Structure 1
Amino acid sequence: MAETVYCADTAATETLGRNLGALCREGDVFLLNGDLGTGKTCLVTAASTALGVDPQEVTSPTFSLMNVYHGKTLNIKHFDLYRINWSEELEDIGFSEYAGGDGVTFIEWAELFPDYMPEENLELKFTRKGEGREVELLPHGRRYEELARALLAPKGREG
Structure 2
Amino acid sequence: PGDVFALKGALGSGKTVFARAFINARAAAPEEVPSPTFTLVQAYAFPDPLSGSDGAVPVYHFDLFRIADAAETRELGMEDAFTDGISLIEWPEKLNGRLPDDRLEITLDQGPTPDSRHARLVGHGSWRRRLDAIAGNKRRG
TM-score (norm 1): 0.71
Aligned structure 1 segments of 4 or more residues deviating by more than 4 angstroms: 151-154
Q: d(CA) in 1 for partners of 2:128 and 2:26?
A: 18
Residue 45 of structure 1 is aligned with which of 17, 20, 30? 20
Which deviates more from structure 2 when the two are superposed, residues 140-149 or residues 55-64?
Answer: 140-149
Partner SS for 2:19: helix
RMSD between superposed Cα atoms in Å: 2.1
Residue 133 in structure 1 maps to residue 117 in structure 2: yes
C-alpha deviation, 1:149, in angstroms: 4.5
Aligned CA distance change for structure 1 residues 151 and 104 (closer, same or farther; 3 Å): farther
* One-letter amino acid matched to 1:139: G
What is the CA deviation profile of residues 42-63 of structure 1, one whole-angstrom value per residue up to 9, with x for unaligned ones? 1111111221264432121100
| Greater per-residue helix proportion | 1
The correspondence of residues 48-87 of structure 1 with structure 2, limited to 5 A, is 48-52=23-27, 54-73=29-48, 74-87=57-70
Aligned residue pair count: 128
* One-letter amino acid matched to 2:111: K
C-alpha deviation, 1:37, in angstroms: 1.4
The correspondence of residues 1-159 of structure 1 with structure 2, limited to 5 A, is 26-52=1-27, 54-73=29-48, 74-98=57-81, 100-131=82-113, 132-147=116-131, 149-150=133-134, 154=138
Q: Once the two structures are aligned, what percentage of the paired residues are identical? A: 34
Aligned CA distance change for structure 1 residues 151 and 106 (closer, same or farther; 3 Å): farther
Q: d(CA) in 2 for partners of 1:79 and 1:148?
A: 27
TM-score (norm 2): 0.79
* One-letter amino acid matched to 2:130: E
Which ranges in structure 1 are unaligned for 5 or more consecutive residues?
Answer: 1-25, 155-159
Which ranges in structure 2 are unaligned for 5 or more consecutive residues?
Answer: 49-56
